[in-house]
Amino acid sequence: MWIDAHCHLQLEDRGATPEEAVARAVEAGVERMVCIGTDLATSREAVRLASVLPEVWATVGLHPHDASKLADEWHGLVELAGADRVVGIGECGFDLYYRHSEPDAQEEAFRAQLRLARDRGLPLVIHSRDAWAETFGVLESEGVPDRTVFHCFTGGPAEAERALALGCWLSYSGIVSFKTADELRAAAAITPADRMLVETDSPFLAPVPHRGRTNQPAYLPAVGAALAAARGESVDEVATVTRTNALAFFWRCQATPRSEVTEAP
């Protein structure tokens, strides 16, 4: 059984409807999915989906692309953070590749969400692209919430070691299956087994052998297989450990048989 630590089911115009995507994922052995908010509208939809689909939980957050919305959307996000089945804050952080919001705005939004996660005792989900120095700078100055994950981690061993030294977790996406991702696979190989998650980031970043298609949580086993190959482990080992880790990270619970996993404590 698998847990998809990061997906965007609410972006249904890019592929299957959320209901179809969840049904396909369950058939593929994906037990739970964490649907990630990127602004107030997508966070609300993530919470709504989590309320009607028993395999889905939600996060609420403001992506660095949308950091300029902070003043207008912050109150709504704070209120939404208290909703049932919300298991995290984010994704938030820096994206200096596209710079859809100015770096100062990204930093302000990141700091605000980091503090909210810490105050609420919720996990923090980080997006960091072309911004290692900026991301680590904020974490080192603010302090790292107890449960903090670099989603879709794309660094090499040096960045992995720095994140791990801060107490962060690393979540691996379909990029780990790409031919050019040797540095990422090297990072995966040194990641401690108890600090590792797996995700699709669907509808983006479909893994090999699904490249060119719209990604979906049903492809999570292919991501897990690539991660297992990078680590020299069996797929079953990676499925078991990442499931256990996800339960501990998002729900503060230990692995239980699937028949007993119906609701987070």
Tokens of 248: 């501990």
pLDDT (0 to 100) of residue 16: 79
pLDDT at site 263 = 37
CATH tag for 2-259 (out of 3.20.20.140, 3.10.129.10, 3.30.1490.190, 3.40.50.1100): 3.20.20.140
pLDDT, residue 253, reads 79
Which tokens go with 3? 């847990």
Amino acid symbol at 246: A
pTM for the full model?
0.94
- Tokens, residue 168: 């962060």
Q: What is the DSSP string of 63-111?
A: -GGGGGGHHHHHHHHHHHTTSTTEEEEEEEEEETTT-SS-HHHHHHHHH
Return the pLDDT at 264.
34
Supply the pLDDT for residue 14: 65
Orientation angle between helical segments 132-142 and 157-165, nearest 10 degrees: 10
pLDDT at 12: 61
Query: Which pLDDT score is estimated for 260?
Result: 39
Question: 182: which residues sit within 8 A by CB, 6+ positions away?
Answer: none
Mean pLDDT for back-to-back runs of 10 residues, the chain (265 residues): 97 80 97 98 98 98 98 98 97 96 98 98 98 98 97 98 98 98 98 98 97 96 98 98 98 58 34
The residue ranges of every structural domain in the chain are 2-259
